[in-house]
Structure 1
């Protein structure tokens, strides 16, 4: 693959940080959008093939970020990159427990980061890459990082489940839109498996009274079934590079 553009949200920690580190090895450019700049990533960037740019932005207020992304993409020559990829990875979880025990502002913020931001950034990306060579040649991709909880409801996680289910169905609808275009982008909403991240720490530490499945997550760690962020990132990016990327709009990294 030649020169690549990767745009990645939620790159400051966990799976996002691991993907960002691995994407630095790509020829081209990497734009990371997170609440906080990844200092470790910046330190590695000088010796890396990819040109790194980081924006410190709060995706709970995604509209100005989407507008900034549109302007940034508009200034890129249409034939510059052989491939262009948007990875919507950012997400947050509310307090683990029944939804009525979470603050209204917390619920609203989680939905904005986990769903609204992905929708707005995807729209900006699709709008501004319409004339790109990569789009005409079928090498524009949107990868939404979803979760098995978007497909299987779990007590104590209503808002997170809703955001991920919305991401899956949004991806399905966008894929139908793109199927009717000559220069179509490919879109996948991908569950990355169970990863040992801060979210897992929150789940294990939750009050079992409001989170009946806590024991499951304790067992996953005790039995060594949690993937490291680096291993999970390698699998996710491997899926992104598959020749049949886009054949299954809603997918799981562990499945077809």
Structure 2
């Protein structure tokens, strides 16, 4: 029997740490990301997740492969995302708005839809875990697109959970806030001017004071939460509470 996990954005940051953690725990790990990097015991699929047709085709190819397997559990982790331009809404180009919403919201919706459709016949443990953010609940000046996209992920989680809860063979759907993590996104935030992001000094202080989580810590916590079944269907939790 095989435990399968599909992780988007698995080539860097939290996604890469998740890939490495689940691979160490003997899962069949599939990473969907633009870049191919040095990862052991992982099937890497090079895909531009902002290209919807390419993403859909790559995902469907995976499920063709899964038909040959005896599956004991299967999980999709919607991790890939981008901060986008940090500035007041009127200063953000329409193309950048569309790209951020597409990667942070549209792609997870499409992949979740395909995941649900193509796992209907499976009676095993089935999950969708989405990496959300405290920005889904707290507005930050300069982050209008990012906050909006993550709020949408939370509502997607709640709605899927509601729909699936009525099914005999339904999927468990959760979202996790990883806290403030030392990734490339944090570097981008710290390099933003105060005119575009008034809270930038707070994020610089977190780095200076060594108060950022590592990607590895977050991945270990998410694995623990998953492996010990600590979440109920529809839960949206902050990792700092565990």
1:220 to 206, 214, 222: 206
Aligned partner of 1:148 among 134, 137, 146:
134
Residues 48 and 54, structure 2, Cα contact 8 Å, conserved in 1? no
Give TM-score scaled by structure 1 length.
0.89
Aligned to 1:49: none
1:126 aligns with 2:116: yes
5+ residue gaps, structure 1, are 46-51
Give the 5 Å matches for 1:94-243: 94-134=84-124, 139-243=125-229
Q: State whether residues 161 and 233 of structure 2, in contact with CA within 8 Å, keep that contact through their aligned partners in structure 1.
A: no
Would you identify which runs of 4 or more consecutive aligned residues in structure 1 move more than 6 Å?
none
Are positions 1:80 and 2:70 aligned together?
A: yes
User: Does structure 1 residue 23 correspond to structure 2 residue 9?
Assistant: no
**In structure 2, do the counterparts of structure 1 residues 19 and 75 end up closer, same or farther at CA, with 3 Å as the change threshold?**
closer
**1:13 matched residue in structure 2:** 12
Could you report, residue by residue, the CA deviation over 1:194-242 in whole angstroms, capped at 9, with x for unpaired residues? 1011111111110001211111101211222101111111112212223
RMSD: 1.6
Aligned residues: 242
What does residue 230 of structure 2 align with? 244
**Rounded Cα–Cα distance in structure 2 between residues aligned with 1:68 and 1:205:** 34
TM-score, normalisation: structure 2: 0.94
Q: Secondary structure at the match of 1:4?
A: strand
Structure 2, gaps ≥5 residues long: none
1:8-87 alignment, distance < 5 Å? 8-38=7-37, 40-41=38-39, 44-45=40-41, 52-77=42-67, 80-87=70-77
Rounded Cα–Cα distance in structure 2 between residues aligned with 1:238 and 1:122 = 22
Q: In the aligned structure 2, how far is the partner of 1:184 from the partner of 1:174?
A: 10
Pick closer, same or farther for the CA change 1:124–1:247 going to 2, 3 Å.
closer
Structure 2 SS opposite 1:24: helix
